[in-house]
Structure 1
Amino acid sequence: MWTRETRGRMAELGRKAKRYPSDLTDEEWARIEPLLPKPSRRGRKPSVDLREVLNAIRYMARSAGGWRMLPVHFGPWQTVYWWFRRFVRRLLFRTIHDVALMLDREAAG
C-alpha cells in the first residue's frame, strides 16, 4: 500500500524528471490545473497528486494498455481509474485536450 510520504516522493521525483513522452510539461500543467475540481472544504484532504493522475491517464491513452498494466510508480490503478471516470463524467477531457492542442499549435508556430 502506498503511504502519503511515498506518493509525495514519487510525485516530486516525477516533476523533476519527465519519465514518459506523455507526461505533462510545466506549461501544460499551469494551464490545466485551474480547470480541475477543487478539493472539498469539508472532509479529508485529497492524498492524490492530480498531475500524476493525469500523467497516468495520458500514459494509458498513449500505450493502449489495460488499467491493471499501469506502472506502479503512478500509484494504484484503481485510484487512477476512479479519477478517470470522474473526469469523464465532468466532461473535463475535452477541455484538457483542447488546452494541450492549443499549446502544441503555439509551439509549432
Structure 2
Amino acid sequence: MSDAEWVVVRPLLPVSAWLRGRGGQPEAYCHRVMLDAIRYLVDNGTKWRAMPADFPPWDRVYAFFRRWRDHGLVKEFHDRLRGRVRERAGRDPEPSAGVIDSQSIKADAVVGADSRGFDGGKLINGRYLEPARACPSCA
C-alpha cells in the first residue's frame, strides 16, 4: 500500500480498544501490514498458508481478517471507503441501484430439477447459476 493510499485508508479504519483506553493488549502487527497481506492474498489468489515470508505469519493475518469479518468490520470498512469514493466523484455516498446478472448453462437431464429450468432469454433448457452481483460502489 502506497503512502498516499494509507493516508486515505487510515482514518476509515476502526480504532483498537487499547488505543481508546478500554484495556486489552496492543496488537502485535500494524494494521497497514495486515491490510497489505490481505490485499496480496486477494490480488494473487494464493492460499493463506502460502503467504510470503515478507508478511506476518499466515495464521496471524487470517485471525486478524476473521476477527474483522466476524464483527462486521470488513463490511463497515468497505462501506466507508465506497462512500468516500462516491463523494469525491460528486455522487451520493449511498448507491441508489445495483446490477444483478445471472447465467444459464446447458444441462443434461441428470441435473436436479431444483437447479434446472428453461431460460426464455436464451431459449435453452439449462441450469441456473448464482447471480454475479455488481460491487455497490460501481452502481
Q: CA deviation at 1:92?
A: 0.7
What TM-score do you get using the length of structure 2 for normalisation? 0.51
What residue is the counterpart of 1:38 in the other structure?
Answer: 17
1:99 aligns with 2:80: yes
Q: Partners in 1 of 2:82 and 2:39 — Cα distance?
A: 13
- The structure with the greater share of residues assigned to helix is 1
- The structure with the greater share of residues assigned to strand is 2
What residue is the counterpart of 1:10 in the other structure?
Answer: none
What residue is the counterpart of 1:82 in the other structure?
Answer: 63
Q: Partners in 2 of 1:77 and 1:45 — Cα distance?
A: 19
Structure with bigger RCO (C-alpha 8 Å, 6+ apart): 1
Unaligned runs of 5+ in 1: 1-13
C-alpha change, 1:108 and 1:73, in structure 2 (3 Å) is: farther
Q: CA deviation at 1:57?
A: 1.5
1:36-85 alpha-carbon deviations (Å, 9 max, x no partner): 4423624x432211221122112222222111222222211111001111
Pairwise CA RMSD: 2.6
8 Å CA contact 1:24, 1:51 repeated in 2: no
4+ residue runs of structure 1 moved beyond 4 angstroms?
A: none
Counterpart amino acid of residue 47 in structure 1: A
What TM-score do you get using the length of structure 1 for normalisation? 0.63
Unaligned runs of 5+ in 2: 91-139
1:57 aligns with 2:38: yes
Q: How does 1:18-37 map to 2 (within 5 A)?
A: 18=2, 24-32=5-13, 35-37=14-16
Kindly, what percent of the aligned residue pairs are identical? 28
- The number of equivalent residue pairs is 87
3-state SS of the aligned residue for 1:73?
coil
